[in-house]
Amino acid sequence: MFLNVRLNNAALLSIHALQTALRKVGDYNIRRCEDKDLPSVIDINMAALPEHYSDYFFESILKELPEAFIVAEIDGKIVGYIMCKIEFGFSNFRKLGFVKKGHVVSVAVLEEHRGKGLGKALMLEGINGVIQRKADEIYLEVRVSNTGAIKMYEKLRFETKSRLKSYYRDGEDAYLMALELS
C-alpha cells in the first residue's frame, strides 16, 4: 500500500537540503556548490574579498574539482563558499618532492554570518574534497593582517611555510600556509 502525499515547496526544499548537505552548522547547510549557485558565490566574492575572478574562472574550478567547491547556505541563501583546485608541484614539506596538492583558491563568508563556525566547516569539507582526489597536501595564501583566519587555519593544523612579499595587488604580504595530508 502506497501513501499519496503532497509536499509543499518548503517541504521539498527541506528534503533536498537534507539530501545534499555534507554537514549542518546550526541552521546552516554546508553542501557542494551547483551551477545555479555560482552567481551567489561571485556576489560573495565581490562583497567579501578584494581579489576578484572572472565568471569563467569560477565555472572552471567547479568543473575541475566539484567535491572541493562547497557552499554554506541558510534558508536557501548562499552566505559563504570555498573553492579549491588540484595542482602538481614541489612539496611544502619535503626538500625534494614533486607532489599532488590541493590549493584553497578562495574562501569567504558574508560578514553578517561570520563567527558561527562556517569558515571552519567550509575548510573541513574543502579539505575532504581534496583528500578524495588523493592529494598529499593542501595549501593556501592568507593576508598577514587576517589574524582571525590565520588562527583558524592554525587550529586546523596548517603551518606557516613562508611569507610572500607584496603578494596582493594592494602590496600586502601573504603567508603561505600548508597542511600535510598523507
**DSSP one-letter string for 90-151:** E-SS-SS-EEEEEEEEEEEE-GGGTTSSHHHHHHHHHHHHHHHTT-SEEEEEEETT-HHHHH
Per-residue pLDDT, 14: 42
Instruction: Output the CA torsion 38→42→45→51 (10° steps).
Output: 120
pLDDT tens for residues 121-176? 999 999 999 999 999 999 999 999 999 999 999 999 999 999 999 999 999 999 99
Per-residue pLDDT, 50: 86
pTM of the model: 0.87
Angle between helices 118-132 and 147-155 (to 10 degrees): 50
Please name the amino acid found at residue 168: Y
| Domains, in order of start, for the chain | 24-180 (3.40.630.30)
pLDDT tens for residues 34-77? 999 999 999 999 999 988 899 999 999 999 999 999 999 999 99
Whether residue 10 has pLDDT greater than 80: no
Query: In the block, which residue shows the cell 625534494?
Result: 96
Whether residue 181 has pLDDT greater than 90: yes
- Angle at CA 42, nearest 5°, toward 24 and 26? 15
Whether residue 111 has pLDDT greater than 50: yes
User: Are the beta carbons of 138 and 99 closer than 8 angstroms?
Assistant: no
Who wins on pLDDT, 11 or 73? Answer: 73
Instruction: Report the pLDDT averaged over residues 24-43.
Output: 96
pLDDT tier at 20, thresholds 50, 70, 90 = low
Whether residue 1 has pLDDT greater than 50: no
Query: In the block, which residue shows the cell 592554525?
Result: 154
